[in-house]
Amino acid sequence: MAEYTVKDIASAIGAVAVGNVDLKLTGVAEPQDASSQDLALAMSEKFAAALPDGAAKVAMLWPDADWQALGLEAAILPDRGRYAMAGVSRVFDPGQGYAPGIHPSAVVDESAVIGGDVTIGALAVIEAGAEIGAGSTIGPQCYVGKDAKLGANAYLRDHVSIGARVIIGDNFLCHAGARIGGDGFSFVTPEKNSVEQARETMGQAESQIAQVWVKIHSLGSVDIGDDVEVGANTTIDRGTIRDTKIGRGTKVDNLVQIGHNVEVGTDCLLCGMVGVAGSSQIGNNVVLGGQTGVGDNLTIGDAVITGAGTMVLANVPKGRFMLGYPAMKLESQVEAYKGLRRLPRLFADVAALKKSILNPSDKD
């Protein structure tokens, strides 16, 4: 079990340490659950109120906190608590415990290029021409396809699949079960199909009964920038002709679907169960809330934010906060919702007015 002094932790995250900074800690905990060996995370007065319920001697608080009045022997006082929490969690993260080196059961093609200090877990498969950057970890039962390239310090948890010719930058983190580089969902019919007709006629044309769907093969691949994280069971399809692209620093949550030819900009957040249909373009610093859906061939501008469950069916200019189905500006959606809630009262008022006009002699 690793031990760190209060001083070491504060130094690692760039925060101020006060009190007995030589105390040693072995973990982190919420205030009510903290032992005497834990750093209690209490970055607001609300959470600090639970400190007496635990046994913490040290807590991470807020800049002007009266740590002595809270009965602590030491404290860490960051400027921005939640940001400091990222550093603390990094210090105490024990990792996944994969054994270093290449496991005897791993299948590594002799033409694959494996960098220095690489770990490859049990039953992993590295195909011909693949390149694994220095310092990378390929977890058990992972698959890296033919001519795929991973940059330095990649970390694939178990059961990750990287398809042929996928290119990924440095410091890539991918969680269990993700599939990157599958075929795009692209099909066409010999004749004009009912979907095309519905779009052209706004649904006025009758649907065809019989259709035969022919696959359009995916000749492109996936290109992922540096410092990208991909969540568990997320899927990113390869492009039809050009590559699907994920920009530097973008973080993708669990169960996200990114379709063929999609381009996602830098430093975006795509939250759980987001779906982006083919050929749409997402700008930089975009945040798509959970279960946001983005239609095909759309453009979302820089710094757009969508609330949970938003359905984007048209282009969105930069800087907008969108909500609802169909997506509207937040203030417009809120006003529409208020109007919807007023409808029962409006109906009652209209009914009463109608009654008074048609039966003026009636009394309430």
Query: Of 103, 159, 175, 260, which is the active-site residue?
Result: 260
Chain centroid, CA 216 distance in Å = 29
- Using CA atoms, how far apart are residues 157 and 177, in angstroms rounded to an integer? 8
DSSP character for 314?
Answer: S
Which of 138, 165, 163 lies closest to 153, judged by CA?
A: 138
Whether 149 and 170 have beta carbons less than 8 Å apart is answered as no
Strand partners, 316: 300
Is 103 catalytic? The answer is no
Q: Where are the alpha helices (DSSP H) in 62-127?
A: 81-92
Longest CA–CA separation in the chain, Å = 97
Tokens of 229: 């994280």
Report the SS3 class of residue 352.
helix
DSSP character for 334?
Answer: H
Torsion of CA 132, 133, 136, 140, to 10 degrees: 0
Whether 50 and 32 have beta carbons less than 8 Å apart is answered as yes
Q: Which residues are catalytic?
A: 260
